[in-house]
Structure 1
Amino acid sequence: MSDLISIKGGRDGLRLRLDDSAEWASLTSALEQQLAQNSGFFAGARLILEIGDRAINDEQMAALLGIMQQHGVQLESLGATARESRNAARASGIVARPLPRYSEPAQPIVQHEHEGMLVTRTIRSGQVLRHHGHITLIGDANPGSEIIAGGSVVVWGRLLGLVHAGALGNPNVAVCALELRPTQLRIAEQITRSPDKAKNLGPEIARIEENQIVVEPWEGAKRG
């Protein structure tokens, strides 16, 4: 993982923070590498980009947008302290907002994966729930929905859509649900599809064992 980029979630969505003191070519290379290596997590995402005190021109703004578009990512807004950077964003049709000065350097993505998100609603078809850490959903994930997490996924309800845990590359995570019948189940780079089940088998947990996804009843799962 690069130490030039950090990711964090919040009520306003995913925020990507770039080191404002790094050499520009190194920074854009690190950004492209992060988006490529974690394509399962970032594809289709709408991000808020924070660049701190860095001043960028129209050409550099276009380069950032080009990298993101190449990897299927949309830039929601730009946070920057430099007016030049905010003007470049607005000239590209991107919402820009002032940003407090960075008080500490960016930290690697992996240092934030422990952070969790609690959601209490139904995720309907066409909706995507995405978070860099763990996700706990109290409700159902309907067919056609997607849950993408950097950590584990726990659903207190029916999980019937696509789910991808460990989407930032961590295989030591799990997917749990009261009814685990996703159209596609993915943990890190391992992928499987839910077998047809005549009835709900009760709470189940899925995780990687010996390089493959194993699903078992929650009561019989190994703890620890």
Structure 2
Amino acid sequence: MNIVKAQKQNYVTIKGTKDGLTLYLDDTCSFQDLEREIDILLSKRQYVQEDSPLIGVVLKVGNRYLTEQQEERLKILIRKKRNLFVQSIDSNVMTKEEAERWKKETEIVSVAKIIRSGQVLKVSGDLLLIGDVNPGGTVMASGNIFIMGSLKGSAHAGTEGNRDAIIAASSMDPLQLRISDVLLSTLQEISNEGNGTMECAYIDENDTIVIDRVQQLSHLRPNLSRFEGE
């Protein structure tokens, strides 16, 4: 009778990249088995060197949910390997609170009204305003701002630090534009020739707000079309 020995399953796969190491972790085994195998693999000489600079480690945990305590245990375990540290932890799983926050940050809030002088409209996520923003009126959003009308007041997109946010309007003649922490104010700084085309404002590579044709967005912000095909 031939006896076939079952081969031990590998719970951790290591791949080297130009930026460091990536660890692909099995998402079906116990957390203790993961800790044990990570400890053994990263104790090998090729990964642990006293004189080498710090090497970042990315953990790919798949469909496993890690608690904050488990994440901290893995960070401590890997940091003990002298020149290694956890750079990021990527998971396909999120908590209910994280999912609700993501939904809130990415949803489009549609409002049909005129924002008059002294009024402020502020939303979480993207804002789609069907109407005008009159001089003295203000619209604010943590995401992008799309105005199907005239922007003659102030607009602040990316209020929570999103520097990739944009402001678009059918007629762009604002008193002030702000994206994240970058400000563009005074009528002299804002060029509008009244050509009748929809325009958009964004932060360029020089940390300056630029106004351009809205057609440029497909190249500048390809993620804006994330809903296409759904």
**TM-score for both structures, normalised by structure 2:** 0.48
Larger radius of gyration: 2
**TM-score for both structures, normalised by structure 1:** 0.49
Tell me: higher relative CO, structure 1 or 2? Use CA pairs within 8 A at least 6 residues apart. Answer: 1
